[in-house]
Amino acid sequence: MDDKDESAMPANDAAAEPGEATDPETPEAHIAALEAEVAELKDRALRALAEAENTRRRAERDRADAQKYAVSGFARDLLGAADNLRRALDSLPADEAKDDKTRSLLEGVAATERELLAAFERNGLKRIDPRGEKFDHNFHQAIFEAENSGQPAGTVVEVLQPGYVLHDRLLRPAMVGVAKGGAGPAH
């Protein structure tokens, strides 16, 4: 048994010799390792804080957008009613109304349209009526091209259906007729 104990001793003696690989770390090396760990943990903490801040900002932006654009579906459903009010008014100009009842009816329809459009405006919904403006594919949908319109090419010459914008987002493009050729004599 003494042989076994002695054979184990030289291995321990070899480890006890000044071989730096198995020696406990020097205080300077231990401090450097701890400083590196602190720097890594500080970096992780800063990244986690930045990620949390980005998530908070994204959630705030999403909440604001949801609040701002929540009425879009409802507003889109009301656009048909606004179009029909305008069609009713266009079907009989007020100066062609023959009796007081017809004039009164037209005034009531006009008042209803004004009230609806005012409610739209209060909620950030604006009508696009681009007659005479340059065609813009972001807000207009070309339905036809008009030749010999007397307008420069690309100018909106007729609005078949007005468009609408909710705050800064397009809700419905304006359906328009666009001048095809260059400016010529108006017919």
Task: List the CATH number of the domain containing 174.
Answer: 2.30.22.10
**How many domains, the chain?**
1
24: confidence class by pLDDT, cuts 50, 70, 90: low
16: confidence class by pLDDT, cuts 50, 70, 90: very low
Q: Is residue 25 part of a domain?
A: no
Please tell me whether the overall predicted TM-score, pTM, comes out greater than 0.95 for this model.
Answer: no
- Predicted local distance difference test score (pLDDT) of residue 182: 56
Q: Is residue 60 part of a domain?
A: no
Give the Cα separation of 66 and 59 in Å (integer).
10
* DSSP letter assigned to residue 27: H
Whether the per-residue pLDDT at 174 is higher than 70: the answer is: yes
Q: Is residue 139 part of a domain?
A: yes
The residue among 80 and 148 whose pLDDT is bigger is 80
Q: Is residue 140 part of a domain?
A: yes
Mean pLDDT score of the chain? 85
Q: Is residue 172 part of a domain?
A: yes
Whether the per-residue pLDDT at 161 is higher than 80: the answer is: yes
Q: Is residue 158 part of a domain?
A: yes
Which structural domain range is residue 157 located in? 125-187
Q: Is residue 167 part of a domain?
A: yes
Q: Is residue 64 part of a domain?
A: no
